[in-house]
Amino acid sequence: MSILIDENTKVIVQGATGRDGSFHLRSMKADGTKIVAGVTPGKGGAVVDGIPVFNSVAEARNATGADAGVIFVPAKFASAAMKEASDAGVPLIICITEGVPVLDMVEIYHLVRSRGQVLIGPNCPGLISPGKCKIGIMPASIHKLGKVGVISRSGTLTYEVVHALTQAALGQSTCIGIGGDPIIGTGYLDLLERFEADKDTNAVVLIGEIGGDSEEQAAEFIKTSMHTPVVAFISGRSAPEGKRMGHAGAIISGGQGTAEAKVAAFEAVGVPVADTPSEIPAMVANRRA
């Protein structure tokens, strides 16, 4: 199985006629995703790689019955695009765009949750269930269908870890990049719960980084609510206090959010933490054995 998406997921692309949106629409379609519509205000009636373009998400969803949407629009329009997708009742919304204002995300976070919708991102690479569906920008060629779930705050590290898993013949059920902003739509806890309930996921790799306490919360959830084995990796171990490292959420402040604290939290609940990404496949194999 997989979580959130599968071979039947029908996807709308917001920003389908733009440079990035049209490029990734074609890529997702070529990788087997059921792209059913594009959306660009004022471009209704256009066609991108055989996919019809509508003026609004509501029009696109009414015409196609889409159950997921992905956003490739400039940052100044991304908040409105997420709200539009939510207003149209799209159950799963993925926002790839980076640079969304934090205050906007406070409002959107509560909006989608109040409606029972799932938002992945913003500032994320999306998600993929290999051989079934890809929504976002992950390179499908490095993935392999299998039973290891992957959750990550870092897009680039996701690719590195997935490639290592695939090279070790450890395929993936679903890989999800949740984004590295201070406020994101869906975090570790929601996804760990979904992986725990997925009978075809038999191990999870959690890729964390400095900043915040989401990894510490994940460790507590694993202790109390998970039987599926988990392996972790924490990036940013050499980051000095007070220094932001790439992601807006990856900043150590007041002694909180350090790599050492996150590693200790996982090790305290029996989750092994890799020193390098290359160690992860062997750890996963040992945990599954």
Bond preceding residue 91 cis, omega within 30 of 0: no
* Interval 73-99: pLDDT, tens: 999 999 999 999 999 999 999 999 999
Torsion-angle region of residue 241: left (phi > 0), alpha (psi -120 to 50) or beta?
beta
Question: What pLDDT does residue 257 have?
Answer: 80
pLDDT at 152 over 90: yes
Asked if residue 183 lies in contact with residue 109, where contact means CB atoms within 8 angstroms, the answer is yes
Active-site position among 24, 110, 143, 247:
247
User: How many angstroms separate the most distant Cα atoms in the chain?
Assistant: 57
* Interval 102-118: pLDDT, tens: 999 999 999 999 999 99
Confidence band, pLDDT 50/70/90 cuts, at residue 154: confident
Residues in the chain: 289
Could you write out the three-class secondary structure of the chain?
A: CCCCCCCCCEEEEECCCCHHHHHHHHHHHHCCCEEEEEECCCCCCCEECCEEEECCHHHHHHHHCCCEEEECCCHHHHHHHHHHHHHCCCCEEEECCCCCCHHHHHHHHHHHHHCCCEEECCCCCEEEECCCEEEECCCHHHCCEEEEEEEECCHHHHHHHHHHHHHCCCCEEEEEECCCCCCCCCCHHHHHHHHHHCCCCCEEEEEEECCCCHHHHHHHHHHHHCCCCEEEEEECCCCCCCCECCCCCCECECCECCHHHHHHHHHHCCCCEECCHHHHHHHHHHHHC
**Domain 10-120 in CATH: superfamily?**
NAD(P)-binding Rossmann-like Domain (3.40.50.720)
pLDDT at 250 over 50: no
Query: Strand 92-95 vs strand 118-120: parallel, antiparallel, or unpaired?
Result: parallel
Domains 10-120 and 143-288 share a fold: yes
Fold annotation for 143-288? Rossmann fold (3.40.50)
Mean pLDDT value of segment 183-210: 97
- Phi, psi at residue 281, to the nearest 5°? -55, -45
Report which of residues 255 and 228 the model is more confident about. 228
User: Any catalytic annotation for residue 247?
Assistant: yes
The domain limits of the chain are: 10-120, 143-288
